[in-house]
Structure 1
Amino acid sequence: MTPIDRFSGHADLYAQYRIDYPAELYDFILSGTAGRQAAWDCATGNGQVAGALAHSFSSVKATDISESQLARAIQHPNIQYQLSPAEQTPFADQTFDLVTVAQALHWFDVHAFHAEVRRVARPGATIAEWGYGLASLGADLDPILLDFYRNRVGPYWDPQRKHIDDAYTTLPFPFADAQRAEFIVQRTWSLERFLNYLRTWSAVRQYIHENEEDPVTELGRAIATHWHAVEREIRFPVFLRMGKVR
């Protein structure tokens, strides 16, 4: 299976406008992780998760298939970035106390990735996989955003997007002591900031590629009168599943 890369072409936008994750999520993961020697952040993108883990682990290995993403990644003395697919890495057996993958599992060959996790994780290590779904803007704008998501750019999503909508409940998770948790990321953004976030969606990039026009521009005009030229609270639902490697 050839790795799918939907983000190299707009790595600058991705680095600037994608959300980060709440401290509560990391606290939850670390509370279930015994060792603090080594962590692997898979599909690290711009390294935001690796950067957070670097404060708790002696060594963080962070991999991605996108050279342009890694070139823009957060730098920290504890982090070593490497170009590598999720399913076959250069790491030694039983290396890691924690393996993380954020908003990327649905792009993988999941069975092959989990086999690689079992190989490189130490006995009793933690595996944490998470993602986030469609943002909520409030009752006045949510129907407009949902229509854009499902209908305007809906045909341009890869089939794997359904796994985000399902919060990874239909993907296998062959690990012990499995548990799930939910979090909310709250941000206060200007309309311009939110529209640029939408331009990082893979479906929007594909729409632009095929139609040579930006669908976000029209959406911006449709919601501008509701935004009232001020910052607005946006809520992103985050789902997590976590378990132990036996």
Structure 2
Amino acid sequence: MASFDRKPAPFQKETTFSSYNQEQGKTYAAVRRNYDPGVYQAISDYHVATGGAFDRLLDVGCGPGIATLTLAPRFTHAVGIDPSDGMLANARLAGGVTSSSEPVRFERSSAEELGSNLHPPIADSSVDMITAATAAHWFDMTGFWPSAARVLKPGGTVAIWGGGPLALDPTIPNADAIDKAVEDFRTNDLAPYRTPGNDISHNRYRDLLLPWTLETPVADFAPSDFVRREWQPGEVFHSGPREIDLDTFEKMISTGSGVTRWRQDHPDLVGTEQDVIRRLRRTIEKLLHEAGVEEGQERLRGDSLGVLLLFKKKAS
């Protein structure tokens, strides 16, 4: 158990993913990886050990439903909410049922509303677990935490997690230079397109507002029940292979919000050699070739340095 408080970053409303159409949501869902079973097990273990039940799940910022559909079979009822109609359309197409064979419900709502706008709304003190997978860095936490306290049952859990920076395997040829190229891409090429949310995610939620660090603290959550776990190099956070070719690498990072905003500003360069992602790829290829990797054999290998935050609503 731990407390990890830092000065919070300013909130800036997310407008990129929330405006995705169905085709953009489909592309996102096709390349974004699920999380390793060990991540979900860590969440369940905490929930069980602290007396949580498995009746109702609320997944916030659910996107195309990756985490919602993975967790739903453990619960009697499951709802995923997201502000993007395009993301929700893909989540609904994916289907999914709960442990009671009830279809998973996907609805449009924000992290701050937390289902209060739905018909029927998410009822007060009705939810056993609230989850947010690679999403909380887009929330206005001053609105989220009071809403979470409202809808959670006493003894309910909030689980927030996300993938941090990529730690390249040091055995990759020219690994240090490639790592620097990726960091230069983030801090220089994408600098005008980064938002506070991007930095909160990259910093592994160290700057995320916690219930007791709000200007008006939410007393329903106790710091003594807070757990923070960071994944280290060599530990598995995302499912799928550790090693990928550069075609896959290009597709995966193309779904980042900063890249999306860059491409919106440079539509004539998308897919050309001047595309911001293509330039990064060519730099990586050059560095691998200089280290003796043959053309057509360029691959990257590494681990996402993910983080998991766990909170418990007081039982009384």
TM superposition score normalised by structure 1: 0.93
TM-aligned CA deviation for residue 152 of structure 1: 1.0
Asked whether 1:4 is paired with 2:59, we answer: no
Instruction: State the match for 1:162 in structure 2.
Output: 199
Instruction: State the match for 1:16 in structure 2.
Output: 30
Say if 1:5 and 1:66, in contact at 8 Å, map to a contact too. Answer: no
Question: Take 2:208 and 2:190, find their aligned partners in 1: how far apart are those partners?
Answer: 24
Instruction: State the match for 1:181 in structure 2.
Output: 229
Say if 1:98 and 1:125, in contact at 8 Å, map to a contact too. Answer: yes
Question: Take 1:66 and 1:180, find their aligned partners in 2: how far apart are those partners?
Answer: 29
Question: Take 1:72 and 1:107, find their aligned partners in 2: how far apart are those partners?
Answer: 20
Instruction: State the match for 1:51 in structure 2.
Output: 69
Structure 1 residues 157, 40: CA separation in 2 closer, same or farther (over 3 Å shift)? Answer: same
1:218 is paired with a residue of what secondary structure? helix
1:26 to 18, 22, 40: 40
Asked whether 1:149 is paired with 2:201, we answer: no
TM-aligned CA deviation for residue 167 of structure 1: 1.8
TM-aligned CA deviation for residue 2 of structure 1: 9.2
Say if 1:136 and 1:234, in contact at 8 Å, map to a contact too. Answer: yes
Instruction: State the match for 2:106 in structure 1.
Output: 81
Larger Rg: 2
Question: Take 1:113 and 1:81, find their aligned partners in 2: how far apart are those partners?
Answer: 19
Question: Take 2:12 and 2:228, find their aligned partners in 1: how far apart are those partners?
Answer: 29
1:25 is paired with a residue of what secondary structure? helix
1:72 is paired with a residue of what secondary structure? helix
Instruction: State the match for 1:122 in structure 2.
Output: 153
Say if 1:107 and 1:160, in contact at 8 Å, map to a contact too. Answer: yes
Instruction: State the match for 2:303 in structure 1.
Output: 235
Instruction: State the match for 2:253 in structure 1.
Output: 198
Question: Take 1:135 and 1:127, find their aligned partners in 2: how far apart are those partners?
Answer: 25
| Corresponding pairs, count | 246
Say if 1:96 and 1:120, in contact at 8 Å, map to a contact too. Answer: yes
Moved more, 147-156 or 229-238: 229-238
Moved more, 208-217 or 25-34: 208-217
1:4 is paired with a residue of what secondary structure? coil
Query: 1:30-45, aligned counterparts within 5 Å?
Result: 30-33=44-47, 34-45=52-63
Root mean square deviation, CA, Å: 1.9
Moved more, 193-202 or 2-11: 2-11
Question: Take 2:42 and 2:237, find their aligned partners in 1: how far apart are those partners?
Answer: 15
Query: 1:94-113, aligned counterparts within 5 Å?
Result: 94-113=125-144
Structure 1 unmatched ranges of 5 or more: none
Asked whether 1:137 is paired with 2:174, we answer: no
Question: Take 1:43 and 1:27, find their aligned partners in 2: how far apart are those partners?
Answer: 20
Say if 2:63 and 2:82, in contact at 8 Å, map to a contact too. Answer: yes
Question: Take 2:162 and 2:77, find their aligned partners in 1: how far apart are those partners?
Answer: 24
Say if 2:12 and 2:197, in contact at 8 Å, map to a contact too. Answer: no
Say if 1:132 and 1:238, in contact at 8 Å, map to a contact too. Answer: yes
Structure 1 residues 153, 221: CA separation in 2 closer, same or farther (over 3 Å shift)? Answer: same
Say if 1:199 and 1:216, in contact at 8 Å, map to a contact too. Answer: yes
Instruction: State the match for 2:277 in structure 1.
Output: 216
TM superposition score normalised by structure 2: 0.73
Deviations 1:22-55 (A, max 9, x none): 1111111101212011111000001010011112
Say if 1:37 and 1:97, in contact at 8 Å, map to a contact too. Answer: yes
- Decide which structure has greater strand share: 1
